[in-house]
Amino acid sequence: MENFLVTGGAGFIGAATVKELLKRGHNVINIDNLNNYYSVQLKKDRLEDIEKIAYDVKTNYEFININLQDKKKLDIVFAEKKPSIVLNLAAQAGVRYSIENPFSYVDSNVVGFINLLEACRNNNIKNLVYASSSSVYGANSKLPFSEGDPVDNQVSLYAATKRSNELMANTYTHLYGFPATGLRFFTVYGPWGRPDMAPMLFAKAILKGEALNIFNDGNMRRDFTYIDDVVDAVIQCAFKIPTPNFPNPEQVENPSHSYSPHRIFNVGKGEPIELDYFIEILEINLGKKAKKIMMPMQPGDIKETLSDCTAIKKWINYKPSTSLETGVSKFIDWFKYYND
């Protein structure tokens, strides 16, 4: 069994990953700073759910409240706990909030990440898997988004910080030789999800009889990816160690190729879902119709996302299996239970 260090382990993807690692018998050090970007209580409830699983399976688990910007404390954690594999799922999230509060994104996503890279290179880790985002494709119009596409047209600071993470990781793996894998997540949803994302916002509004703000007049499509499929990809990639990759001359300009032990993959469902259809599935599961207010496109947002997951399918035989209908049903079951 491995000693995992998971950052952002009180967050949506982080908590789900920690729970699955514990169920599989691994030791986990879970670090998070419990910031107040959204409900701290939700984060504490996720941690309580993790504690119950850790108790049931009787594996080594510890939560440490720490900010990745605190390099000294982070270095102490690495030195004392000696993780073998690091999963960096911590970040200041949210596209729209990055317009209001840009410095928090630089502090968390850039400064915090460089501190983590330094800790990894100084502590002989076997592998680093880190969260990137589909938002790095920015203003690209070619669909589906592929890792080989140019990623130089970000339309939000959040996306820019995530792209910077990819560049920083590539540099560190080149200079110091430790392996890393970046995962570009596409619209992750499911139980214990973030309250600032559409599934939770829409479900709450529908139940309360409040109107939904529908941006770009509803002319939006998203590649919704269920949390269990994402967690499976994260853990499989943790055990698939990249080696130095020597591309042929035609591949040198391809952003997904590297001379270093570094890989970048899309993690999505590969199915574009109309926003109206997503709302319809919510309505069916909630037994209530939505009220809608049509709004213009928000700054920093993009009209459509769709993943090409050919590369990760070859890498780990990734096969997302949860349909939207099943995933939304599971989300609503949890949502009703949690808010009862």
Residue 61's pLDDT is what? 97
| Per-residue model confidence (pLDDT) at position 100 | 82
Catalytic residue among 97, 105, 130, 158: 158
Identify the residue whose tokens are 């440490």: 64
Question: pLDDT (tens digit, 9 = 90+) per residue, 160-212?
Answer: 999 999 999 999 999 999 999 999 999 999 999 999 998 999 999 999 999 88
Q: Decide: pTM greater than 0.85.
A: yes
Residue 322 has pLDDT above 60, yes or no: yes
Find, among 218, 186, 215, the residue nearest to 298 by Cα: 215
**Is residue 61 flagged as an active site residue?**
no
pLDDT at 292 over 90: no
Report the residue count for the chain.
340
Alpha carbon distances (Å) from 146 to 15, 158, 305, 307, 320: 28, 20, 11, 7, 17
What pLDDT digit, counting tens, does each position of 30-55 carry? 999 999 999 999 999 999 999 999 99
Bridge partners of 133, per DSSP, are 185
Q: How far is CA 122 from CA 57, 72, 78, 215, in A?
A: 32, 13, 9, 46
Does the N-terminal peptide bond of residue 144 adopt cis geometry, omega within 30 degrees of 0? yes
| pLDDT band at 259; cut points 50, 70, 90 | confident
Residue 106 has pLDDT above 80, yes or no: yes
Task: With a cut of 80, say whether residue 94 has pLDDT above it.
Answer: no
Report, as an integer, the average pLDDT of 150-156. Answer: 90
What is the maximum alpha-carbon separation in the chain?
A: 59
Write the DSSP assignment of 15-47 as a string of letters.
HHHHHHHHHTT-EEEEEE---SSS-HHHHHHHH
